[in-house]
A = this chain, B = another copy of it.
Amino acid sequence: MPAIPSSVLLLILSLSVAPAPTRTATPDEGMWTFDNPPKEKLAETYGFQVDDAWLDHVRLSSVRVSDGGSASFVSKNGLVLTNHHVASTAIQKLSSEGHDLVASGFYAPTVADELPCTDLELNVLDSIEDVTARVLGAVKEGATEAEARLQRSAEIARISKEENERTGLRCDVVPLYRGGVYTLYRYKKYTDVRLVFAPAAQTAFFGGDPDNFNFPRYDLDMALLRAYENGEPLRTPHHLQLSQGGVKEGDLVFVSGNPGSTGRLNTMSQLAYLRDHRYPLLLDYLHHRRDLLTQFSARGAEEARRAKDGLFSIDNSIKALTGYLESLKDPAAMERKGAEERELRARVAADAELSATVGDPWQAIADAQAVGAEIGERAFFSSIHGSQLFAKARTIVRLTAEVEKPNDERLPEYRDTSLDSLELGLFSAAPIYADLEEFSIAGSLQLMIEKLGADDPLVHTALGGSPAREAAARLVGGTHLADPGFRHQLVDGGRTAVEASDDTMIRLALALDPTSRELRKRSEDEVSSVESSAGEKIARARFAIHGTSVYPDATFTLRLSYGVVKGFETGGYNVPYKTTISGLYERATAFDFQPPYELDPLWAQRRSHVNPDTPLNFVCTADIIGGNSGSPVVDREGRLVGLIFDGNIQSLVNRFVYDETVARAVAVDTRGILEALQNVYQADRVVAELLQQ
């Protein structure tokens, strides 16, 4: 379960409908906010007293990565440990033809050799503040649902901006518990991030797509970055020390990271919408795009290199979505969800007072799903997916239009507090490949025709009467957006310059924008707003019945999960809680080194120097999901014992229903990391830094 790379992240996050509180949690369930950790449960179940010092230490050592993953500080000089697959987009941007750092790996023998990454942002959660009263207080009496949404949204924008100006920190207001709670998250932000070490992709992602979401596993899915401030390594007094003892079966462990999105409390009608509309559409798109990229890769080695990161994330998303879809089709899991909903509805119905306040929000949500089903496909195809050039064009068109509005009336992603991060990506010097763009756009246009029909106005606009391949060639041939200087120039020129531009991609973005905005508005007014207010009512009913010891659905903000290190059984087969380095050599040999089981030549060469019994990966029951990739796993003493990089296939159902019988989070073992750095990579200065107390 690699992290969700940024473009796919948006897709997947948009699946989450609104966050929702869950039923009373079962053992080891929960992605807890740091201001509401499950203290009693931990004390009762594991005899562990979690105190503020422990929480502060773990929180201030935890790092969020803008590319859709998690990380942690692991030395006092800003060394950051994350997954290779979280860093891989950044690593690819540092690569070029004949110099493929994703394939070869990278090690900076001295600090001076550390490579500055393009547009990578790290966030450290500085503080949390409840701003519910202020956000809800901004809604005027008698406002309609749509008006209330705008008023809340404007207040959120004001809070973020004020707080940012006051503190200099990145300030996000996050709605939790379906808007039952609004929380201000203040982050320290670091954008000078450099690459220190990455293994070859073959070692990080040994077993490739077939082994992804599986265990036993043998992946050194790690990378080391370093945060800099004012050109110097960042001083990080809060960082995680590496455990030397490691974990054993039954140990209590914690995961501190940023789960992207869950749908534990979606109503049955929302689940049905995902099952019947949203997931099938996304899977159609992803399968189509996988075929495209596979064809493109077949053209040659350089093409394959260019497509590799994209293919990786597509494969990964397909596997995840397929798993989600299967769990929505699993009668047992859905019966459990249905029974929960029926019980809650019955208890509301039986309580006259509650019933009068809450009404029937389930029906309102069901009606909203019908709208979602009606407009979902056209909304999706009002963008050209899989094209970086189009994405940049749309951002430029909207950015220049939005900044003319008052801050709190803008689309949230164009508010002042978001602009730094947005511009980091927009003006990135990372290469954009014209051949891959043209190929991708042609494919996307083709799919658009298939899905919407040749007569749809969106199709007319996008194709301008030409066949898909011609249209794609014209679009890519007539744009200068691959040049970061040109993008700067357009943004500097503002809306007028943009609207006057004859750049083909800008013109397409302008032409599609009205429909796209209209569909977005309809979705927000008739779907999200309804889900939000109805969801709030359901949340209220749930709080009234089950009390407050619940956690919110995931929102790509920092959470604490916990669980035990534990093997599992699948199809009658005993799967151990860990693997060892010996098993990496075994699995490669057992497949006769056929792809994706090639053995990294360096590992072959250094084999006799490595202790084969060193633990390499392990599993635990902690409750995680995409976005948690790169999260540190810590023990009771707050020491680093592992690095989350995946969940097994049995954990995909956790998106909707947590079950610890066979669902497992998969981590790289800290001992495996040290053994590899020491005896395979001989990365002595990094090992010394990691071991320094």
Contact string against B for A residues 315-352, beta-carbon threshold 8 Å, 1 for contact and 0 otherwise? 00000000000000000000000000000000000000
> Which of B570, B571, B583 meets A590, CB within 8 Å?
B583
Given contacts A580-B586, A582-B585, contact A573 B214 (CB under 8 A): yes
On whether the beta carbons of B590 and A586 are closer than 8 Å, the reply is no
Residues of chain B within 8 A (CB-CB) of A649 are 571-573
On whether the beta carbons of A580 and B576 are closer than 8 Å, the reply is no
- Indicate if A21 sits at the interface (CB-CB under 8 A): no
Closest chain B residue to A570 by CB distance? B571
- Give the CA-CA distance A248 to B591 in the complex, in Å: 10
- Give the CA-CA distance A213 to B587 in the complex, in Å: 20
On whether the beta carbons of B214 and A248 are closer than 8 Å, the reply is no
- Indicate if A85 sits at the interface (CB-CB under 8 A): no
On whether the beta carbons of B592 and A613 are closer than 8 Å, the reply is no
- Indicate if A589 sits at the interface (CB-CB under 8 A): yes
On whether the beta carbons of B582 and A589 are closer than 8 Å, the reply is yes
- Indicate if A210 sits at the interface (CB-CB under 8 A): yes
- Indicate if A374 sits at the interface (CB-CB under 8 A): no
- Indicate if A64 sits at the interface (CB-CB under 8 A): no
Nearest CB in chain B: distance from A653 CB, A: 13
Contact string against B for A residues 429-468, beta-carbon threshold 8 Å, 1 for contact and 0 otherwise? 0000000000000000000000000000000000000000
Residues of chain B within 8 A (CB-CB) of A592 are 248-249
- Give the CA-CA distance A580 to B207 in the complex, in Å: 17
- Give the CA-CA distance A582 to B581 in the complex, in Å: 10
Nearest CB in chain B: distance from A609 CB, A: 14
- Give the CA-CA distance A597 to B590 in the complex, in Å: 20
Task: List CB contacts (< 8 Å) of A390-426 with chain B.
Answer: none
Nearest CB in chain B: distance from A283 CB, A: 16
Q: How many residues of A contact B (CB 8 A)?
A: 32
Nearest CB in chain B: distance from A589 CB, A: 5
Contact string against B for A residues 575-616, beta-carbon threshold 8 Å, 1 for contact and 0 otherwise? 011111011011101111000010000000000000011000
Closest chain B residue to A207 by CB distance? B574
Residues of chain B within 8 A (CB-CB) of A248 are 592
Interface centre among A207, A573, A578, A590 (most CB of B within 10 A): A590
On whether the beta carbons of A612 and B582 are closer than 8 Å, the reply is yes
- Give the CA-CA distance A586 to B581 in the complex, in Å: 8
Residues of chain B within 8 A (CB-CB) of A580 are 586, 589-590
- Indicate if A499 sits at the interface (CB-CB under 8 A): no
- Give the CA-CA distance A574 to B216 in the complex, in Å: 11
On whether the beta carbons of A216 and B590 are closer than 8 Å, the reply is yes
Residues of chain B within 8 A (CB-CB) of A579 are 586, 590
Nearest CB in chain B: distance from A573 CB, A: 5
Contact string against B for A residues 348-359, beta-carbon threshold 8 Å, 1 for contact and 0 otherwise? 000000000000
Residues of chain B within 8 A (CB-CB) of A597 are 576
Closest chain B residue to A576 by CB distance? B590
Residues of chain B within 8 A (CB-CB) of A572 are 213-214, 649
Closest chain B residue to A215 by CB distance? B573
- Indicate if A303 sits at the interface (CB-CB under 8 A): no
Closest chain B residue to A649 by CB distance? B572
- Indicate if A211 sits at the interface (CB-CB under 8 A): yes
- Give the CA-CA distance A436 to B572 in the complex, in Å: 31
Given contacts A211-B574, A570-B571, A573-B214, contact A586 B589 (CB under 8 A): no
Nearest CB in chain B: distance from A472 CB, A: 35
Residues of chain B within 8 A (CB-CB) of A213 are 572
- Give the CA-CA distance A207 to B573 in the complex, in Å: 10
Residues of chain B within 8 A (CB-CB) of A590 are 216, 576-580, 583
Residues of chain B within 8 A (CB-CB) of A573 are 210-211, 214, 570, 649
On whether the beta carbons of A586 and B582 are closer than 8 Å, the reply is yes
Task: List CB contacts (< 8 Å) of A605-638 with chain B.
Answer: 612-613
Q: List 10 A-B contacts (CB under 8 A).
A: A214-B573, A571-B571, A571-B649, A574-B591, A576-B587, A576-B590, A580-B586, A580-B590, A582-B586, A582-B612
Question: Other CB < 8 Å A-B pairs besides A576-B590, A580-B589, 5 of them?
Answer: A578-B590, A582-B582, A583-B583, A585-B613, A589-B613
Considering the complex of A and B, which 9 residue pairs feature the smallest CB-CB distances, nearest first? A576-B590, A583-B586, A582-B586, A210-B574, A576-B591, A572-B649, A589-B613, A214-B573, A580-B589
